[in-house]
Amino acid sequence: MSVTRGGGDGVVSSCSVGNAQEIIRHHLDSIANDPDCSNGLPPIMLWGPPGIGKSTIIREITEEMGIGFIDVRLAQREPVDIRGLPVPREDRSGVDWMVSSEWPRTGQEGTPERGVILFDELTAADASLQVAAYEFILDRRLGTLYEVPKGWYIVAAGNRTKDSAVARTMSSALANRFCHLELEANEKAWVNWAISRELEPSVIAFIRYRPDLLLNMSGNRERGWPSPRSWERVSTEIGLARGTSLSPKSLDLVIEGLVGAGAALEFNAFRSWTGSMPDVEKMLLGEASPEFPKRSDLQYATVSAIAHYFSTSEDRSILMNGLFGLLMAMPVEWSQMAWTDIELFLSNRYRSTDPIEELHTHSKYQEFADKLLGLK
């Protein structure tokens, strides 16, 4: 963990996405082993700038674990959405409360036994809405009307006032009940995540080349600006544009609309420069001699292209000789980066060690391993 300046109360340790996922998984595993402990576990409060992926963290964990997920965007809700709607009794003797059907209920058909309720944009909610959420989050109940099932865990997320986002002060009573994690944008962690999700190689290579542009809020925040979320969307747009009639100029405008003019100018220039890098496909097929560019931008692009092309190939066996020939021709730090990317790519794509074992048993692997160890 690195250290960052907190909001006026000294120094706060910042938390990587990987650290946050580990802590949340630990709490969810604890609940799975002993559902009764859910009442004693503090809810998690994820702090971080817009676009860093706070809600994505929770969604991916619940998908991975196969448990329920309810995403409550508080800035788009009313107090009655949380605590229920008062309905007058027919005899006018009082009111009954109708609690929202979206909350999980023990034993109800279709309700998972375990899950996460995420109260997103907690700091953007107005005072009346925060008050309505307090009882739910703090006591895991709404009076005598509703109680959160023991297998469900509560997480909240919000922006910090220093991010120039809509953010209201959290009461000390509420703050003291949370376990607070302040997320940081980490280039290495994001690259690993992007490789595992098979994002466009050009996007991965560019963030490695310009890590300062993974998250940069110094420009016009009323338009697009660089963030982990916006770079993921850039990758999606590039993939959707491939093989269509969308003109390069129009795609450039889409990218600018996502990450802003400055970052888009650099990224689009980077993409055009990579057109002059060696033909990775031909080198892997053995149809061209192995070569590695001298320019750093092209080096990052070539490494990402090697990992992506090899790992997504339907027949990797015909590329093995070309891969090891190329790795042996590259400087050791770059061949190590490419190898790490390939292992990460294959392990996430196939959820098996078999493809990696195929690499380790290839006749040229030992020669390559000796190179990494400085024996070649």
Evaluate whether 155 touches 118 at the Cβ level (below 8 Å).
yes
- 128: number of Cβ within 10 Å: 10
Query: Environment class of residue 373 by beta-carbon count within 10 Å: exposed (0-12), middle (13-18) or buried (19+)?
Result: exposed
* Mean pLDDT to the nearest integer, 215-239: 88
How many Å apart are CA 17 and CA 291, to the nearest integer?
36
Class level of CATH domain 3-183: alpha beta
Query: So what's the pLDDT on residue 102?
Result: 85
Give the pLDDT band (50/70/90) at residue 290: very high
pTM attached to this predicted model? 0.80
Q: Find the Cα–Cα–Cα–Cα dihedral 103, 109, 112, 117, rounded to 10°.
A: -10
Evaluate whether 104 touches 140 at the Cβ level (below 8 Å).
no
At residue 355, the 3 state secondary structure works out as helix
Is the confidence at residue 3, as pLDDT, over 60? Answer: no
Average pLDDT of the chain to the nearest whole number: 87
Is the confidence at residue 337, as pLDDT, over 80? Answer: yes
Domain extent listing, the chain: 3-183, 187-372
Looking at the chain, which runs of residues are DSSP E strands?
Answer: 3-5, 11-15, 44-47, 68-73, 85-88, 95-98, 115-120, 141-142, 146-147, 152-158, 179-183
Residue showing tokens 């910090």: 160
pLDDT tens, position by position, 183-216:
988 899 899 999 988 999 999 999 999 999 999 8
